[in-house]
A and B are shown apart, each in its own frame.
Chain A
């Protein structure tokens, strides 16, 4: 293998959609390194304009099937911030449960269906049905648990039905809450059984310290409420999110890019783990230790392990929320409030990182302006910077090994699922 490598990848699907990878290595020197996003733009900011506040979450959740609940949470939070609505404890707990469902579906899909086949030397989960049936069955059950919780709490998980500004339009019965508790207890046991599986698979060696940005709340593993936190510059108010994201366009990408204190920053499970690890549940901390995941962790490949740890934490959080709801006099809440011309920001953690929605409403409650900043877009420059750090480490390896290292790096970021399934068709040219 010479040191001349040219990689031209067409259609990584859904890193916020379709994307390409271009890497050009000449005599061991990196000439070009791009993660290009070529998805057809969908113009959600335009679609939201002129719509009533009661439709904002219904429309914006359709940005993404896998982050649907996350978009709803950001959307509701932006509207509530704008109208000055404080949600009740009951509503907080219901959203926490729905969010647990979201993370289960998304993280399980990434860890088990997209990452594990790589480690196991397979090209999809389907052949693993024969060779690792027990793991596949556990994975399907864990993923379905996400959908199941979504069904029970909000009518369905993807583009859920019962979420509204101020309060949900559905209240779970005792039986439903007991069912969720039992299933989450059993999910923890299943996850513990797979700590060994994950350890056997390991993670490639890699280190690049960077800026980690996540939601932050003292005393909580912050997911649905809090301030913004940067590992470089500390706490910032969510209303100052534009100072954190500084979006810009590049020629090779229809997804906007973001930067803050450096050329790029990282969001997602590893950023959350690095910033908020001390507030993980005791069992989640134990699983992190068993997986060899220690904060701060600078190995982007360990993002998958951080997601796994979060699954354990979220089971505990979901169980606690369901138990608290069981002890409450649950009832449908009044959803009326005073409509006024206003502006507000929602900042929440979705599986892939911090997500911002920013809405401006007129005095009739119709949207005048919307801005949504997606975690995958925030991570794109970080992936490129990781490529730049990774390529010198692997440039003398075989074609197949370089390809796999790059593929696994993009997959580790879990950019948006289908991209992770088929990232790279690598074309090598020996000059």
Chain B
């Protein structure tokens, strides 16, 4: 389908569309053709079947809807893909993907990564290993072979680097890895820029047993790189390059930023048609230019579009040399005074510390000045002269002023821009008939061309140049009579300038004019610093730590861990992955390490000539979009529409209509089943089986409120306990809203106690003493809100006196000794227990007279003489000696099991009532103590 960017993953399924007529036929037959019957009493039947609503055939639009639905489902099954990606065959036993993640790949890295990911996907589909190498990565990086998942992870971890690709080394590694898998296919994802050594790199990579080559290069390379940034005399000049041969003119804005990232100047780069170079000038004041810290091209998010500047672009250091002994008392006569005053605002002045030129000049040159001003120095010592010439050839600017010494000195070709006549010329003196000469227009060839010649400046003495053929072009300023006032010549990379007058106002009034300042300033702009201040001779091999790096997208960022200190060497430093571009050094001084060198050019890469089958591809996002989901969703919507239509037709929406829709719904359901069958069955959720042993008992224990008793091991005691609690439960059921379950016997050693509100514990001295572990469990139970009712059942067997305790009481003491027992007291008359259900003061059991001990409510107050004291909580412990269970106990017929002592039926009743009160107290706490206040509360509310 060339007219539609559509492809199908399973085009064979499209033959299913041939089924559409069948489906149409089925739909027409659905509902099934009814049995035709002639039936005369139809009018009677019609009264039974109230309404006839189902036509023989579905309406055409419903059929169309269903056919569309079926067609959509079939189309969806065919896995249509919109905007399918082109398939480049990468057969072979392995796929080696060699990718440039260099600086020029940064702008559209996502697209490139997507392209690489596609190749990895293809390799995954083919089931072959992937060798994945990047040309701007450390050479020890892993290159595989990977499986597809690892390769994808690796690809995702890779970012473009602000360095040029290192193809030879990386290709050699890949070639080495390819030796292990002969017949592999190679995918080269280039950044499109040529690098030195490409040819050898490609030969090495493609020299092995390669089955095929896929060559991917970007469609266009719109990047612009900054080659130089120079602070010139008149403007700050940046030059930029782009790929040659681009017929489209291009313009870009260049911004200059200070060290805090603020934009302080703008300039425009204009590439003419087919131009590969352009120059932009920041014509801003000099002071502002010195604040430039970086230059960046707008809209170019790559490292070459950013250039960081170091000190060499900023204030110049100017060395001053004079042989005259300055008289500190007469500063105006010092030859350097006016120079000093003129240069101080925009240059760092370095004065020679020694008058001895053999010491002064080397000391000065160590400071790497941009310019050296020599005031009236005639001859130089040979050693110093040689150093000075070398410095000048290396780019220094030497400005000499004339004077009596120079006038008397011999001509020195190397140190003077023009040949001088011996002696000086005097104009307008008392022995001369000439007038002092004013300046004329500055020659257009010189750096002062745009200066306005001052009319107040006159020159009365000067040194004269020998007329030579090149005198005119070397004259930067001339007097009205045509004699040169300032001459200049380049010496190597440097410049030699001679003022034919003295630097003080003795020979002319030029030094005290504003023009002098302007001229010196221009000269300073011409000069260039010769290295950073820190890079002294002994520190030249010093390594500067990375300080601010240019990231791949052209931002200044803190250095990455990979960046290594930069060794400052004399020649231009290569930009490598270890030394990415950026500023090296520290706060006090930096060295700019930029991506593109002064002579750099951007050239398109050449596709290697090889005999291997080559297919090419372009970087592109994988914009293929699965349409299956949309189609299925559309089918689903159609299905809903169809169901609504069926409902509407069958009269669901009209209340009084007959509901016969099954036939129509059948077709819908069939299609729905078809559609739902397409989806892979989701794994049914698995419910965790968290049952644990004892759950059944726990559930039984908490399903009903149950009163528990401690199994002592003595069957007679346990039987009485059980019968007693049964009797109490029955009494509770009769008298109260509480209907307890069957009593639960618990073993304090093993059973969980937390389920029971009350545990009745008959103390049996014969029983085994509970283990410390069990006592600890009881303690925890009591602390967590449970209550234990200890019954010693020894009311009448206790002796008198402190040693008269019975065995049961003694056992109870033993047990309680290891429990945290609160202070106890007999139930006070105003305790809640006495009011919880029945109002009673005594708590008799089988025996009577024994007190019921409960937790002492020390802080409870009953200041207002209320019926019940207030207080929170439920006593965790109750102790009685009255054998409560014995009194409660009933047999199977409901008759009392044991006689009371004394035999008083009322005592048994009171015992049961006491049991009720205890249970109510257990379950409702101090509710009753609040409840008895209701009359008072009502009285208060009523007022």
The finding on whether chains A and B are genuine partners in a shared complex, rather than unrelated, reads no
Residues of A within 8 A of B (CB): none
